[in-house]
Structure 1
């Protein structure tokens, strides 16, 4: 599947295999497209693409996640022609500033996960999405500004996911199980990117105060709920929460770095978290006796 010949053909099945065998940037370079262009081609052809975290998984887990080829969308052939003749330059799509910023962040996220944050540059991003470097700098003055914005976006998505899950809980124990499970799943999905971004000292320093404030806002209602429901002291509530949070955070870090599987982390974390919640309930019963 190359463009060394005047006319190249590829089937949807072959393209599916390639984009799940090698990073999008590598496959795209072989067929004369940008990574963004290949992503759009796959979407148009109804070919599923791996998530950003896929490339950091062990080979055995990647093999398990590879999908079968879905039916072609209406009007799409199974065999695709890659360039019968030099294609005329298409007019660049005019995007709003917000849409262009999202596009650049999406492209940067893909590069950061598959190749490393060090490979993200404004020049590379501009080339990959088909705009000038000056236009890219109109969206983000510096590479660091883009990385910070991307980290903020990922953190906000994790928090939104947490809030959505907790709102579905019907009691304290259910909320604890749901929020713990959700955190571990987010660690698998977004952890590799967030971990890579927060390894950049300037990004970590810029977000330190925001993350501290967010952690307090999340923690305080939990402590108040524990003290009210179980009648335990603030010190015990803080201690219980700190220990459980430390266990979950460590598990999330191990998932993000692919040192343990999601399934193993759930098996190890959930019994500990549930036992902690039940110990508080036991303390409440003892206080009532």
Structure 2
């Protein structure tokens, strides 16, 4: 009898991670994690090549005749059919209108029905709450801070994708102010990303002001979605969240000054969360 192997895949704005998952314990199988950088501006062929390579590498020590894939993908996306509608967001635009599910299945020599997809922020939140009985009894929101602003909801054992990124805010939408590109546009110098910028926090007042402003932007956007008195729990993850201590204090100060009682928690599982959430599509 063939062994059923489930691989969770998280497609981020700068990397793709794949791991084999144990759905009984909701844990990553040791030694199965594979992570590759990915160019979100590359051609469809290049992007699909990296995705298939990452999955194959995660299977290097597995003996299986049945592969099942759960994928966390950024949107907008037709997750049921596997068609990308990403456009105007500065990433994966070459995939627009293409059936990513079918193309990837061909490269992995499986049928499209062996691939299931979900929104990356929804997968992140599901991975965070799936084995936490306290959180699962509450209404929980999750946001991911990185190349874009992802959001999702969890309530009564159901997950729902959010649309916080396109909430009208100031001269544009929320994601214009809550993203890596905002930092890069605002900073007077040149850095590769928020991690490098955070390293300058102690020596450059401009950087300190940027993180304070970022935290205040995030608070104002959250206040539009979660009015004062909201009892929701908010989990924050994503690469920018690694600089938690630099922008969360001004964010919480502004939330509290506006009467917010929302509980704000840092993500606990890091990059494992969206991988586990995607794999859980096969539970």
The verdict on a shared fold, with TM-score over 0.5 as the criterion, is: no
Larger strand share, 1 or 2: 2
Calculate the TM-score normalised by the size of structure 2. 0.30
Query: Could you say which structure has the greater relative contact order, defined with CA pairs below 8 angstroms and 6 or more residues apart?
Result: 2
Calculate the TM-score normalised by the size of structure 1. 0.29
Specify the structure having the higher radius of gyration (Cα): 1
Larger helix share, 1 or 2: 1
